[in-house]
Amino acid sequence: MNHRKEIQTGMAVLLLSLFTSMNTSLHAQSDPVKLLRKDAENKVDVLVGGKLFTSYYYPITIAKPVLYPIISAGGHEITRGYPLAPRAGERGDHPHHIGHWMNYGDVNGLDFWNNSDAIPAEQKHKYGTIIHTGILATQETDQGAELTVGMDWVAPSGNVLLKEKTTFLFSSEGEKRSITRITTLTAQELAVSMKDNKEGVFAIRVARELEHPSDKPEIFTDANGIPTTVASLNNAGVTGKYRSSEGKEGDAVWGTRGTWVTLNGQIENENITVAILDHQANPGYPTYWHARGYGLFSANPLGQKELSGGKDVLDFKLQPGESVTFRYQVIVQSNPKGEEYWEGLASEFSKMK
């Protein structure tokens, strides 16, 4: 009888130990995410465990709202500082590449992608601006935090071409941080044409450490024929490398299709992977990738003719009142993960409604 009691007591202790271990593990995987509105500063801070993960930032000076900066679980900024907060040794090209943004290079003939304070006043009539119109909803749950915002895609004439409703879902699980963006664009009084253009759509400009090492300067020309020189810099500490779901690596990822792409590198002592996942319900799925070694990491499902060398053509259009929804997910993962891990995450995300 005493022996049976000892066994029962031992089983109870084991079960309690397992429950405690599982509870601790679950708690470790679910970090609290909070939203802090700072209306006077035109931003909403996203905090994980009381520390900054990213900010939704919407000053009128940068021609569109952005997420900036984006910070890994190890405390490193994976986004470039320039032009908002330049850091020593980083590139000073493409001032419109700020944090994470979403826009396009040809909307009814207007360039929303390249607009910035660097555009001369006499050229501004060629460019569109995305204006934050309001915070529509916020929510904090055990799974993370949700921020829903409104934006207008505005022509130089003042006409609103597209109304945007975007929900950001922010979450953190130990070494993995994620940003899911669900964006619905609705055409207003005019039909909207988004002709094939390489400048788009869902983009991040990454920190110098996550760029590809490069030993020569390059010149890139935008849709308006304006060239930008990307200088050759010291490659010390520059460790980035792209890899796509189709097995493409490095610069070979550019202009190819894939359901996901990872960018692997190291910042100081932290090994980091930044991944963008496509969704099967998106137009042009699987997306083409506008991923450059100098740090532009972008999924572009609309620029098919430009990115495929004429093999595919989309020329996406919306009639007045019509809408389209885009869904993408960014993962910032500390410590390397294998291809099966990314395939699993992409498959799971693509089932999301």
132-165: pLDDT as tens digits: 999 999 999 999 999 999 999 999 999 999 999 9
Residue keyed to tokens 């810099």: 233
DSSP 9-22: HHHHHHHHHHHHHH
Question: Do the Cβ atoms of 203 and 99 come closer than 8 Å?
Answer: no
Q: How many whole angstroms separate alpha carbon 29 and alpha carbon 143?
A: 10
Rounded to 5°, the CA angle 344-200-207 comes to 70
Q: Using the predicted structure, report yes or no on whether residue 27 has a pLDDT greater than 60.
A: no
**Helix or strand or coil: residue 253?**
helix
232 — pLDDT class (breaks 50, 70, 90)? confident
Q: Using the predicted structure, report yes or no on whether residue 307 has a pLDDT greater than 50.
A: yes
The closest alpha carbon to 172, from 247, 244, 255, 75, belongs to 75
- Percent of the chain whose predicted confidence (pLDDT) is above 70: 91
Question: Do the Cβ atoms of 150 and 165 come closer than 8 Å?
Answer: yes
Q: Using the predicted structure, report yes or no on whether residue 19 has a pLDDT greater than 70.
A: no
Write the CB contacts of 99 (distance below 8 Å, at least 6 apart in sequence): 54, 57, 66, 67, 68, 69, 70, 79, 80, 204, 205
Q: What is the pTM of this model?
A: 0.89
- Percent of the chain whose predicted confidence (pLDDT) is above 90: 83
pLDDT value of residue 29 = 64
Q: How many whole angstroms separate alpha carbon 170 and alpha carbon 54?
A: 9
Burial label, 321 (beta-carbon count in 10 A; 0-12, 13-18, 19+): exposed
Q: Using the predicted structure, report yes or no on whether residue 22 has a pLDDT greater than 70.
A: no
Joined tokens for residue 194: 């988004």
Q: Using the predicted structure, report yes or no on whether residue 12 has a pLDDT greater than 80.
A: no
The two most distant CA atoms of the chain are separated, in Å, by: 94
Joined tokens for residue 64: 């569109």
Q: Using the predicted structure, report yes or no on whether residue 10 has a pLDDT greater than 70.
A: no
Mean residue pLDDT across the chain: 91
Burial label, 304 (beta-carbon count in 10 A; 0-12, 13-18, 19+): buried
CB atoms under 10 Å from CB of 249, counted, come to: 10
Q: How many whole angstroms separate alpha carbon 301 and alpha carbon 283?
A: 7
Q: How many whole angstroms separate alpha carbon 333 and alpha carbon 337?
A: 8
Question: Do the Cβ atoms of 290 and 202 come closer than 8 Å?
Answer: no
Q: How many whole angstroms separate alpha carbon 205 and alpha carbon 112?
A: 16
266-295: pLDDT as tens digits: 999 999 999 999 999 999 999 999 999 999
159-216: pLDDT as tens digits: 999 999 999 999 999 999 999 999 999 999 999 999 999 999 999 999 999 999 987 7
pLDDT value of residue 67 = 99
pLDDT value of residue 230 = 80
Q: How many whole angstroms separate alpha carbon 174 and alpha carbon 23?
A: 14
Of the CA atoms within 13 Å of residue 139, those in its CB half-sphere come to 10
